[in-house]
């Protein structure tokens, strides 16, 4: 399947059920990677695994609630058993809510945003690092948001949690570079994914027509995946050119 640029690379993709994660899974599979795909929805995962295998690629679905620390630890154990190693972890997990303004947030909605957008990233990182340490190499890519770089109407919980990914990634790099582990953060601007439907006010069609596509973000991930281990991309900003 595909061009083989990632032939035999063992990659875990979290958030693979839709949007950027799904597009990344399709691109990585086309490049020859062996994939473990993670999301809450087993139905969505079954769909993409079916598409990948029909095209001759290799992918296994492991439905997991990545906000659950113990479940993520079990996920990584199973991924290792199936893949033999984990060369890269791609984290595209994220959500937002309609009641996103500061005055509309509750303690419950704040904690829910923290769990999905940041705690899940911590769970995934902490669970995968031991395997990468044993290998002496590994790459972790977190997909954040342009909201972590510049103020926008996405809401304080979204902006705070997406900014938190930056601290997690850079802190992990400082602690683990001696073990050959690298981290990268991608900051996409407006992207036409299902999360756009969670906006309090619908995005005008003419604006959405100029947005990034999930495949654009997948291409950015593929760029980082394709670089040699001697390189490090701390951050990559990816904005729509016409917005």
Residue 77 to residue 73: CA distance in whole angstroms? 6
Specify the pairing of strand 138-143 against strand 34-38. unpaired
Is 239 designated active site?
A: no
**Which residues share a beta bridge with 61?**
37
CB distance 190 to 211 below 8 Å: yes
User: Residue 139 burial (CB < 10 Å; 0-12/13-18/19+)?
Assistant: buried
CB distance 95 to 117 below 8 Å: yes
Residue 17 to residue 166: CA distance in whole angstroms? 23
158, 162, 165, 172: the active-site residue: 158
Residue 62 to residue 42: CA distance in whole angstroms? 8
User: Any idea which residues carry the catalytic annotation?
Assistant: 158
């Amino acid at each position: 399947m595909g061009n083989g640029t990632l032939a035999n690379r063992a990659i875990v993709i979290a958030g693979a059920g839709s949007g950027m994660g799904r597009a990344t899974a399709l691109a990585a599979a086309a490049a020859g990677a062996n994939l473990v795909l993670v999301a809450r929805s087993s139905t969505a995962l079954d769909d993409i695994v079916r598409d990948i295998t029909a095209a001759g690629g290799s992918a296994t679905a492991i439905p997991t609630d990545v906000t659950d620390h113990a479940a993520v630890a079990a996920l990584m154990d199973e991924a290792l058993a199936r893949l033999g190693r984990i060369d890269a972890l791609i984290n595209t997990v994220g959500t937002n809510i309609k009641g996103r303004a500061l005055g509309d947030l509750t303690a419950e909605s704040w904690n829910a945003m923290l769990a999905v957008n940041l705690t899940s990233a911590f769970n995934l990182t902490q669970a995968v690092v031991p395997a990468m340490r044993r290998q002496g190499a590994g790459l972790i890519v977190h997909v954040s948001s342009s909201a972590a770089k510049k103020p926008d109407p996405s809401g304080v919980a979204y902006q705070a949690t997406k900014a938190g990914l930056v601290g997690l990634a850079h802190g992990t790099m400082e602690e683990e570079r001696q073990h050959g582990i690298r981290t990268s953060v991608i900051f996409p601007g407006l992207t036409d994914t299902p999360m756009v439907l969670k906006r309090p006010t619908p995005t005008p069609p003419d604006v959405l027509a100029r947005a990034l596509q999930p495949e654009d973000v997948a291409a950015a991930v593929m760029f980082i995946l394709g670089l040699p281990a001697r390189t490090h991309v701390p951050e990559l900003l990816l904005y729509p050119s016409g917005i």
